[in-house]
Amino acid sequence: MSSAVSRSAPPRIAIVGAGISGICTAVALQRAGFTDFTVFEKAADFGGTWRDNTYPGLVCDVPSRYYQFRFAMNPEWSQLYSSGPEIKDYLVKVAREHRLHERTRFGTEVKGAEFEDGAWRVTTAGGEVERFDFVLCATGFLHHPNRPDIPGLPEFAGPVVHSARWDHSIDLAGRRIGVIGTGSTGTQLVSALAGQVPKVVMFQRTAQWILPTVNRPYSRVTKQVYRRIPLLGTAAYGFNRMIFAAFSQGLIHPGRIRSFIQWVVARNLRQVTDPELRRKLTPDYQAMCKRLVVSDRFYAAVQRPDVELVTEGIDHVTRDGVVTADGRLHELDMIVLATGFDSHAFMRPMAITGTDGRTLDQAWADGPRAFEGVMLPDFPNFFMLIGPHSPFANHPLTAVAEAQSFRIVGWLKRWRAGEFETVSPTHAATDRYNALMRAAAPSTVWTTGCQSWYLGKDGLPELWPWSPGRYEKLIRREPDPVDYRLSRVESRK
């Protein structure tokens, strides 16, 4: 790429979202000398999914010393796996320390963005319109709650809450609570509620493999040592990175790692002593085909006399509770929907329009796709954080956001150097990239015979089908000019 005279004016940058990736990108911009950016956040604080999810028992399934930014290592983690509130506080602290609140508009939802006359026209829900040179979508993918369409659900007499919209004004005391869903959220909720309320009924559509762990607390002495010797935090991060690199081999290739993990989770299930309950809790698919659940409490909780596992399908809901396909009424006082998110929405329902009036819905008519997880053809100077086919299985999103921020900042430096006005990947490069991923997908564990939110319309996983390390190497390399469409605009409006 040829260089040109450096610009006198900095690029105007819009960041949509103030969660993990929004905070990470904003800090990366600052560190690279880009200060003319605005973060749009529709909520009232930083934190993203860790702000929105506040249900009882919420714990991250990635170790604390790995689920953090390398530029903001935290010696104060309280335990091996951090709680949701602790991670949210960490993210807010990072944002505040970098004074991001001064550049963030809270309570401001972006409704759409349209590329015209060489720049992006960004429109907010309040009707404000501003122009930016670049738009960075950091909206995440665990954002829009998935509410099941169960007949009669609106007629239920008690409260109905989605796990991602927990209502803390509800007094749980004395309530019989039904939990619909058995993924990480469902297992954490049951583990937290068991013994705290008179009855917990877990409605299971699909059994889950549970990876055992021990969520040990960190002592005061341990925190002091990590505080005084920062290199220990770096070493702990590197150790966890190595473990997850080995783990990822089981995700992408059949072999010893995958077999070992299958043996571990099957052995863990043996702690369920009742043969019939163990049968109900035994999945009919390989471990890791769905996102692996990590828990040290669930099997003990589900064996309690005040917890019931129901495997009959839900037929409908009445005023008094849930009726299953066998005609049985399960009387309840509260229903919790642990039914996950629309993980394929990404930045939608934002209305995004690129060149020649091409909309995001048109570009994604056959399902979300991108180039290297961060860019789209026909959408110049538009970047995504944690976009389609990013490595977001059990890999920490903090690491993904850091790698993708590196690529974005690289392009912004080229713009500042006057090398181009707009950049977008070519259709040929995007097609080739996606074809390579589809070709690699069949060897991954996600295609071994289960239904999961990882799968797209074509039945293939919308995930990076290789190791996270390979993705970071790809995203941090020098971009190949052949893969991009670069343009110059003589007059800027």
CA distance linking residue 132 with residue 122, whole number of Å: 7
Helices (H), 254-293: 256-269, 275-280
Q: Are residues 396 and 318 in the same domain?
A: no
Q: Which residue has the tokens 């999914």?
A: 49
Is residue 13 classed as helix, strand or coil in its secondary structure? strand
**Dihedral over Cα of 123, 124, 129, 134: its sign:** negative
Cis peptide before 349 (omega within 30 of 0): yes
What single-letter amino acid sits at 50? W
Q: Is residue 40, in this structure, part of any structural domain at all? A: yes
DSSP state of 382: E
Q: Is residue 364, in this structure, part of any structural domain at all? A: yes
Burial class (CB in 10 A: 0-12, 13-18, 19+), 186: buried
Determine how many CB atoms are found less than 10 A away from the CB of residue 296: 18
CA distance linking residue 384 with residue 12, whole number of Å: 16
Q: Is residue 233, in this structure, part of any structural domain at all? A: no
pTM for this predicted structure? 0.94
CA distance linking residue 339 with residue 142, whole number of Å: 12
Q: Are residues 320 and 430 in the same domain?
A: no
- In 3D space, the residue among 383, 402, 399, 397 whose CA is nearest the CA of residue 142 turns out to be 397
Q: In this predicted structure, what is the pLDDT of residue 341?
A: 79
Q: In this predicted structure, what is the pLDDT of residue 2?
A: 46
CA distance linking residue 188 with residue 301, whole number of Å: 10
Q: Judge whether 168 and 275 are in contact, CB under 8 Å.
A: no
Q: Are residues 192 and 294 in the same domain?
A: yes
Phi, psi of 334 (to 5 degrees): -160, 145
- In 3D space, the residue among 358, 365, 403 whose CA is nearest the CA of residue 384 turns out to be 403
CA distance linking residue 474 with residue 128, whole number of Å: 38
Domain boundary residue among 337, 367, 399?
337
Q: Which helix (H) or strand (E) holds 300?
A: helix 298-302
CA distance linking residue 57 with residue 152, whole number of Å: 28
Q: Is residue 218, in this structure, part of any structural domain at all? A: no
Determine how many CB atoms are found less than 10 A away from the CB of residue 120: 24
Q: Are residues 127 and 171 in the same domain?
A: no
| pLDDT < 50 stretches in the chain | 1-3, 491-493
Q: Are residues 132 and 181 in the same domain?
A: no
Q: Are residues 442 and 303 in the same domain?
A: no
Domain boundary residue among 337, 354, 370?
337
Q: Is residue 229, in this structure, part of any structural domain at all? A: no
DSSP state of 205: S
Domain boundary residue among 302, 337, 372?
337
Q: Are residues 90 and 162 in the same domain?
A: no
- Number of independent structural domains in the chain: 2
Q: Judge whether 388 and 370 are in contact, CB under 8 Å.
A: yes
Q: Are residues 417 and 327 in the same domain?
A: no
CA end-to-end span of the chain, whole Å? 25
CA distance linking residue 86 with residue 77, whole number of Å: 8
Tens of pLDDT along 329-345?
Answer: 999 999 999 998 776 77
Is residue 105 classed as helix, strand or coil in its secondary structure? strand
CA distance linking residue 338 with residue 450, whole number of Å: 19
DSSP string for residues in 429-454: HHHHHHHHHHHHGGGSGGGSS---TT
Q: Which helix (H) or strand (E) holds 233?
A: helix 230-252
CA distance linking residue 59 with residue 73, whole number of Å: 19
**Which pair of tokens denotes residue 78?**
């309280």
Q: Is residue 248, in this structure, part of any structural domain at all? A: no
Q: Which domain holds residue 17?
A: 13-144+342-487
Q: Is residue 236, in this structure, part of any structural domain at all? A: no
Q: Are residues 332 and 355 in the same domain?
A: no
Q: Are residues 347 and 478 in the same domain?
A: yes
CATH number of the domain residue 79 falls in = 3.50.50.60
Q: Is residue 400, in this structure, part of any structural domain at all? A: yes
Q: Are residues 437 and 460 in the same domain?
A: yes
Q: Are residues 27 and 140 in the same domain?
A: yes
